[in-house]
Each structure stands twice: as C-alpha cells, then as structure tokens.
A and B are shown apart, each in its own frame.
Chain A
Amino acid sequence: DAKTTQPTSMDCAEGRAANLPCNHSTISGNEYVYWYRQIHSQGPQYIIHGLKNNETNEMASLIITEDRKSSTLILPHATLRDTAVYYCIVRVPGGSQGNLIFGKGTKLSVKP
C-alpha cells in the first residue's frame, strides 16, 4: 500500500506556480521522498527526491517540513505540458524495501 496521501486532482493556470502537497505522516528516518509524473500514455518521469533538506533542480523544488510528515512539490511556472499525474512516493533506497509503490497520485491540469 502507498504510504502517502495526495489530493485526487488540482488545477493550475498556465504561467503560475503549481504547488502539489503530499502527506507522509508515517515516514521513517531512512525513507526518501520521491516525486514522479506520468504524462498520458508515457512511462513515469523522475522529477526530484529528498531526504530532509529542501531540494531544487531544473524541473521543480521540493519542500519537506521539518518533521518530514509532509512535503510540497513546486513547479514554479507551470506550462500546458506539465499536465500529468504526479506521484509522491516514500522509499528506502535499495533492496526490496526500495521498490516504488505507486498510489493514485494527483492529476494536475494546467489550463490556459
């Protein structure tokens, strides 16, 4: 079972920041938070991951709360091509515990 809770869907206006929340209240100390997205009929795309510090890359920023029980993925300037299902996953890297368990994710619709 997925260890995360995400809203089923969200809308965002093109050019605005998209803030996608994720609750992972039972996260353990050695579990990372990963974000992937899946555009319709494609394989999932890796976005970003973090352990406890906030992270930023060319795609997005990941803000993790101090108690690590929740996080937010931020797409700073959403475009129509960012419309996808976004998955928040917690896992321990490597071994059988490191398997990615996909929940239902958040369907983000970016509108013009």
Chain B
Amino acid sequence: GAVVSQHPSWVICKSGTSVKIECRSLDFQATTMFWYRQFPKQSLMLMATSNEGSKATYEQGVEKDKFLINHASLTLSTLTVTSAHPEDSSFYICSAALAGTPGETQYFGPGTRLLVL
C-alpha cells in the first residue's frame, strides 16, 4: 500500500517551453502533497507544499510564478515548470502524506528527470 506515481518519468524539452509533471497517490487519499527538487550529488530540497483545493506554500527562493502547482484532488497534484531553462534541469520528486496515520508519513514518487536543452 501507499503507492505514489509520477508521470512522466523523464522529459527532454527545449528552452522556453513549459513542462507539466503529475503526481498521484494510487491507493490512498493524501491531505498534503509535497514537491522536491534534487540536483546531482545533492540532497532533496523542498520546493512547495500543497493542500487539496488551496494555494501551495512555497519555500523561500522558489518562484511561484515559475513553478505552478495545482492540487486538484486528494489523489492528484501537478507541477508545471513554465518557460523552462537549462538551469531548471533537475530530478523532481513528489511525496504524499497519508492522513490520519500516526506521524503522517510521507510516501515518495519515483521522480521525474527533466532535461532542458
């Protein structure tokens, strides 16, 4: 149980285009979903937290107009990287919190590798 999927698993795009990444909790309803970014040889950095039906909360230094987050339902959140540039190339990972459980454990998706040319 507690499976989180991401789509696509990898994407290559041209500079200036927008890319949408989907995150789904497959077998549970998630009150909160999180988006992380990981650059090579570095640890995960939290980008934003989103709750279903409300605006996302972004971490300091993350541009909300560039990284659009839509949390449409308790099982789906999307991250859109707008006007992507090569420096946005990274490994993007989502997680979903399992509500109502002790500790509200977060379960992670497999990640999406983005390469902007």
B104 within 8 A of A: yes
Interface size on B, residues (CB 8 A): 25
Measured in the bound complex, the distance between the Cα atoms of B45 and A41 in whole Å is 15
A49 & B108 in contact (Cβ 8 Å cutoff): no
**Which residues of A have CB within 8 Å of B57?**
96
Residues of chain B within 8 A of A36, CB atoms compared: 108
8 Å CB contacts to A: which residues of B61-117? Answer: 91, 93, 95, 97, 102-111, 113
Least CB distance from B22 to A in Å reads: 14
Given A43-B93, A43-B111, A44-B93, also A100-B106 (CB < 8 A): yes
Task: Choose from B43, B93, B102 the contact partner of A103 (Cβ within 8 Å).
Answer: B43
When C-beta atoms are compared, the residue in chain B nearest to A2 turns out to be B43
A32 B103 Cβ-Cβ under 8 A: yes
- Does B13 have its Cβ within 8 Å of any Cβ on chain A? no
Pick the residue among B45, B49, B108 that contacts A45 (CB under 8 A). Answer: B108
Contact assessment for A34 and B103 in the assembled complex, using a CB-CB cutoff below 8 Å:
yes
Cross-chain contact of B110 among A43, A46, A49 (Cβ < 8 A)? A43
A97 to chain B, nearest CB (A): 11
Contact of A93 with B103 in the complex, beta carbons under 8 Å: yes
Q: Which of A46, A51, A103 contacts B106 (CB 8 A)?
A: A46
CA distance A36 to B91 in the complex (A): 17
CA–CA, A37 to B72, complex, Å?
A: 29
Complex Cα gap A1–B51 (Å): 24
Q: Decide if A46 touches B107 in the complex (CB within 8 Å).
A: yes
Q: Which of A41, A49, A104 contacts B103 (CB 8 A)?
A: A49
- Interface centre among B91, B108, B113, by most chain A C-beta atoms within 10 angstroms, is B108
